[in-house]
Structure 1
């Protein structure tokens, strides 16, 4: 999680460890927010959130409904127990592993009415209203082929009326994912500050070593300083030329990579939207092409996570 925290630009993180390769939750935040952790289990994290610039507080819950149908009632009992006893604005979001209507599912068998009714009753008991969404209706797909192909709206954001009254201007977007079978949710409310830019210090990225042009750019930069009479002058000028040339080359690479990722992501989205089980092989191929690019990106963030650990300690 440390490299993810650094990559996303957050200052702090609280994690609930996974069990093997399943589960695991995390809450990340910046120093402009005060976070008072209330409760957590392997199915949820609840915290009181307060902006430094505001006096008002709100309850935010990240929730994961049990994947086993027989244990789903345990999740609904937990959710009801998390309901605040006062007029605190409450936002709850996550993967509930359940739908509210048949139209939120395509493929395989129909969802039993009782399962959906229990979920809707739980949301009503909590005073929760669905905040809606922008984008594709479905947030999960099993990515199988043929008649067993299924996609559903398992992820959503809900809030009580106190949240809606206070933060009436909000938007929930279903984003695209190249690796997970779930779409991430982006929840935005009025007054949200997304400016977390920081001054950057130039550092050589280990990921550059895997790219073809990097070595030739460095050699050319060092050759440009060979005429200096003193060794220290050659070294300093060579380092400066390397920095300038690598920064310019990296900006160009990032632009080209962004265009490539957008084109591939658009293609992946189109295939997923059209998929009824017959396009799964093509989807996996495009996902692999995207993952190859992201592997290089991940190396960069692994390096930055290690640097942060060296600076800040464990």
Structure 2
């Protein structure tokens, strides 16, 4: 699911419409929020038809200022809860009828009305307990670094907006994929971009969509850049990344140090986004460090062979040092493949052959369920429908309280004779041992 938010600074200009069309074509948003449209509902209706959206909701502009609009595709069940000149509040049902709330916000542009914006955000937060995401042009900043130029943003405004976000139990979604602050010159005049467009969400919303990207995109003709919020469904997908902790990481002393330093470097926020960031860091650390086992082993073997015939003290020292490093690499590789193969009969010291690599990869393919057959004999391939088949199966198993008393009674008589037992329990002979070995 993609949500595109843009302060377009007026849709009466054909150039703005062209740029909007290019954004929609390249980003394919499911929801589109536009602020400062400076047009009435008939223009939005025309754009809705032009860009193939199904439904829309408009807050008309007042004179030559304001105007809000939200448009959405047919695949999403969306209902408008409330609206004003500064917001559109909607309820979204998506991803398996999961309900959450999205507020498209446009803050008061006048600096004298900043407190009105803060109180308005607080009133919106108190309206519902649903998982909540609020995004748009807040006309406000949280950090001094959000503004560039000779005149610093007043500290009391920074503190007021930050305290409002904390009081509403919101956390900022990290911006990715672009530098939000830029400058450009036009003759002798400098235009400075300030970070006004943002997105925040409650922790419950984070639990629903732990994977999301917030990116910014240049629009050339406007000093407001659109932000794209991409929500990645946690449903089954072959391409979906799943974090797995590798036991072999613990064999490296630098792993604990690097992870600890990364955790301390994260800014204070809720636990869920910190855990997601740390898991991504560990996965990246593991890929960089153990990306190619075989290449590292090959190079280390060459180094061992290089010093194998040395007789001087320095050469012998390097030989044993390279040998120890080679043993460490082989130990790491052994743990790596043992964890994947789940072959518990593989003990420390067994050869790390191609068989165990094939065993691990084949096990992954075999364990992947691609289809199921329901009680009616129909073959199900959709992930959600397969989940329902599994659910109904185990529900029937565990809810069945009837006991079958007609269980066949098996005989307890011995199944081997006394002579056979003597042969089996007798000491083995040298000939038997020799034949078994050969």
- The answer to whether TM tops 0.5 is yes
Q: Is 1:104 aligned with 2:146? A: yes
Would you say 1:40 and 2:72 are equivalent positions?
no
The 1:66–1:140 alpha-carbon spacing in structure 2 relative to 1, beyond 3 Å, is farther
* Alignment equivalent of 2:209, drawn from 138, 158, 167: 167
Structure 1 residue 32, shift from structure 2 partner: 1.9
Quickly say closer, same or farther: Cα 1:21–1:192, change in 2 above 3 A: farther
Alpha-carbon shift at residue 57 of structure 1 (Å): 0.5
Question: In structure 2, which of residues 203, 227, 246 is the aligned counterpart of residue 185 of structure 1?
Answer: 227
The 5 Å alignment of 1:210-225 reads none
Q: 2:178 aligns with which of 110, 115, 136?
A: 136
- Which residue among 1, 10, 15 is the counterpart of 2:53? 10
Paired with 1:146 and 1:192, the residues of 2 have a C-alpha distance of 50
> Which of 30, 34, 54 is the matching residue for 2:73?
30
Select which of 7, 21, 25 maps to 2:64. 21
Q: Report the Cα offset of residue 18 of structure 1.
A: 1.1
Can you list the C-alpha shifts for 1:251-285, whole angstroms capped at 9, x where unaligned?
Answer: xxxxxxxxxxxxxxxxxxxxxxxxxxxxxxxxxxx
Task: Determine the structure 2 residue equivalent to 1:125.
Answer: 167
Deviates more, 1:82-91 or 1:17-26: 82-91
Cα separation, 2, equivalents of 1:24 and 1:145: 32
Moved >6 Å (runs of 4+): 139-144
Contact persistence 1:87–1:162 (CA under 8 A): no
Q: 1:109 to 1:148 in 2, by over 3 A?
A: farther
Q: Decide which of 79, 82, 85 is 2:121's aligned counterpart.
A: 79
Determine the structure 2 residue equivalent to 1:92. 134
**Residues 145-190 of structure 1 deviation map (CA, whole Å, 9 limit, x = unaligned):** 6475322111011101001111010001101113322001111101
TM-aligned CA distance change 1:86 to 1:20, over 3 Å: closer
1:149–1:117 CA distance, 2 compared to 1 (3 A): same
CA 1:175–1:148 in structure 2 vs 1: closer, same or farther (change >3 Å)?
closer
1-structure distance, mates of 2:189, 2:220: 23
Compared with structure 1, are the counterparts of its residues 10 and 192 closer, same or farther at alpha carbon in structure 2 (3 Å cutoff)? farther
Given the alignment of the two structures, is residue 155 of structure 1 paired with residue 191 of structure 2, yes or no? no
Q: Deviations over 1:268-308 (max 9, x none)?
A: xxxxxxxxxxxxxxxxxxxxxxxxxxxxxxxxxxxxxxxxx
Q: In 2, Cα distance between the equivalents of 1:9 and 1:166? A: 28
CA distance in 2, matches of 1:153, 1:141: 12
- How big is each residue's C-alpha offset from its partner over 1:213-259, in whole Å with a ceiling of 9 and x where there is no partner? xxxxxxxxxxxxxxxxxxxxxxxxxxxxxxxxxxxxxxxxxxxxxxx
3-state SS, counterpart of residue 162 of structure 2: helix
Report SS of the residue matched to 1:149.
Answer: strand
Larger Rg: 2
Q: Judge conservation of contact 2:146–2:181 (CA < 8 Å) in 1.
A: no
The alignment status of 1:68 with 2:110, answered yes or no, reads yes
User: What is the number of residues matched between the two proteins?
Assistant: 192
Measured after TM superposition, the shift of residue 88 of structure 1 is 1.3
| RMSD of aligned alpha carbons | 2.4
Q: Under a length normalisation based on structure 1, what TM-score does the superposition of the two structures give?
A: 0.57
Structure 1 residues 132, 142: closer, same or farther in 2, change over 3 A? same
- Counterparts of 1:42 and 1:192, CA distance in 2: 35
What's the CA shift string for 1:176-219, capped at 9, x where partnerless?
113322001111101399xxxxxxxxxxxxxxxxxxxxxxxxxx
Distance 1:148 1:158 in 2: 30
Q: Any gaps of 5 or more consecutive residues in structure 1?
A: 194-314
Deviations 1:83-138 (A, max 9, x none): 15554110000001111111111113000000011100111111111101123333
Alpha-carbon separation, structure 2, partners of 1:136 and 1:44: 26
Say which structure, 1 or 2, has more relative contact order (CA 8 Å, 6+ apart): 1
